[in-house]
Structure 1
Amino acid sequence: MNQLVRLFGITLIMAGTFPAQSSAAQLFRYVNDQGEVVISTQVPREAAPRGYEVLSESGKVLEVVKPELTDEARQALLLKRELEKQQDAVAKVQAEKDAELLRLFNSVEDVDRSLERLLAEIDTRIEVIQGNIQRQQLQFEKKQAQAAGMERSGQKVPDALIQEMKNIQAGKKRFQLDIEAFGKEKDELRAEYAMRKDRVNFLLHGEKKVDQRNENLKLAEKDVSGEWEPVESGADVITWQAEDGGRFLLIRNGDYGIEKWRGNWSLNRDNEIVVVYFRKEFTRAGKTSKVAFAREERYPVMDSRNGDLFVFWDDSVIRFHKAG
């Protein structure tokens, strides 16, 4: 036994421990409360939670008993497993979407042609509605002339005629609302197909190409300042805020839950929101941490329609609406 002690150069303790969990031919290596490595025939009750090794008489490691997890470590492990589960689910959904995209489109040109067909169909519907508006306008003018003639001859305009004119005007307004709705549908299709085209291009060529930018778009910093939220859920970004003073705050879903990224921002001539992040904040196991880091991100603004921004963000075009 003295040879074993000299071999490891550590303390060998024979007593003051709880009963061993194996035969007398086995030894245990652990760390005591003073941080010293100890070999003994027993493992103290207070040392067992820190983990230990089971050794043969020759010093060979027979078994490693891992340390018990603290409450914080256990919570972190559970959170990690839950996040991995969520990431796997997201990856599965994305794989299904990718397979459907490749089934529908063999090239990025196919995406363009599909969008053109859909837009043409909507334009046809708009033309039909515009024809209906013109016909109703002619009817209104006819009724209006009839009413004017009656007034000039001193006759009272019948209530029925007045109501007909009101009904025609109401019908025209409904048709106009339909046209506006179709216009919004076209905008949404363009944004959706911009994302589809970029994804198909990435799946086929491995590139993340941005080619749907409105070349006529001219933005000033006041156009992107304020707090913005994605119109549709599913993106990692929850909200971002570009302050007039140059500060930038991004709230996103991170590895440990909700994270806050802080930095400074500017808008360059290419309509890119350039952000230099300097700090990341997150809460884990009830404790808030602030981590300093340096990272530059560029978020190209693809277009601006109806007060919304279409921004290339995390490999896809996301539509943001101003909060409030």
Structure 2
Amino acid sequence: MLASCRTTLALGLLALSLTAQAQTVYRWTDDEGLTHYGHAVPAEYRARGYERLGPDGRVLERIAPEMTPEERAEKATREALQARLELEQENEAARDRLLRAAYRSEQDLQENLDWRIHGLDTQQTALEASLAHSRQRFEDLVARAASLNRQDEKVPDELDESIEAAREEIRRLNDAIRDIESRKAETRARFEADLERYRALTRDPSR
């Protein structure tokens, strides 16, 4: 009796499976653009995409065509651009939060700028003092070498090396001063951008 029940159940499940398969219809197009229907999509047409239809003809599922290498590359580019845009938006929102948290007023922004510029000015003043000292030392060394030349005496290698070292020090200090000037310009430009953004944020508290 038990074996008979199991056999009946198995046959019932098989019948349901066959019925479901019989009711599943696929729709696809061939290379000529002609539409076909069937219970299975030929392998050579699956990459073109197809639809699975229900017993009443409604579309139950759409399988998109496989993308070409060019389409995949284009999709990857779009996704990368979208990801970068979202990251930029997140970074901008984070900067806005920091800006509003750090400053209570435009005066706070101005005072912060003044403090930063003062620090850079202090560094530049020290560099310019060192530069003046290095130039004086360079001139003294060159004058000593010139005096030896006038006396037809050989300029010692140590003196030549000292002159070259002084020249290199002057070059280094000039580069450092130019860097300070550049940083001051960048600081002022950043202040102007922050001030403009701060005004926009405080005009619209919801942002």
Does the alignment reach a TM-score above 0.5?
Answer: yes
Shift of 1:65: 1.9
Which among 34, 43, 64 is matched to residue 66 of structure 1? Answer: 64
Amino acid paired to 2:53: L
Map of 2:100 onto structure 1 = 102
Shift of 1:49: 1.4
Map of 2:11 onto structure 1 = none
Q: Which has the higher helix share?
A: 2
Map of 1:27 onto structure 2 = 25
Percent identical pairs in the alignment equals 27
Task: Give the Cα separation in 2 of the matches to 1:97 and 1:87.
Answer: 15
**Does the aligned pair in 2 maintain the 1:107–1:201 contact within 8 Å?**
no
Of structures 1 and 2, the one scoring higher in RCO (CA 8 A, sep 6+) is: 2
Amino acid paired to 1:112: Q
Map of 1:85 onto structure 2 = 83
Correspondence 1:235-274 to 2 at 5 A: none
Q: Which string of whole-angstrom CA distances, capped at 9 and with x for unpartnered residues, describes residues 36-61 of structure 1?
A: 33333332333221211112232122
Larger radius of gyration: 2
Task: Give the Cα separation in 2 of the matches to 1:125 and 1:205.
Answer: 37
Taking a change above 3 Å as real, the CA distance of residues 188 and 64 of structure 1, as seen in their structure-2 partners, is closer
Taking a change above 3 Å as real, the CA distance of residues 46 and 123 of structure 1, as seen in their structure-2 partners, is closer
Task: Give the Cα separation in 1 of the matches to 2:116 and 2:193.
Answer: 16
Provide structure 1 residue ranges, at least 5 long, that are not aligned to the other structure.
1-21, 141-169, 207-324
Shift of 1:182: 4.4
Shift of 1:110: 2.6
SS at match of 1:106: coil
Shift of 1:101: 1.8
TM-align CA RMSD? 3.7
Taking a change above 3 Å as real, the CA distance of residues 34 and 110 of structure 1, as seen in their structure-2 partners, is same
**Does the aligned pair in 2 maintain the 1:26–1:55 contact within 8 Å?**
yes
Aligned residues: 152
Shift of 1:80: 2.4
Taking a change above 3 Å as real, the CA distance of residues 122 and 65 of structure 1, as seen in their structure-2 partners, is closer
Correspondence 1:2-17 to 2 at 5 A: none
Amino acid paired to 1:119: I
Map of 2:155 onto structure 1 = none
Shift of 1:180: 5.8
Q: TM (normalized to structure 1)?
A: 0.38
Provide structure 2 residue ranges, at least 5 long, that are not aligned to the other structure.
1-19, 137-165
Which among 35, 51, 54 is matched to residue 52 of structure 2? Answer: 54
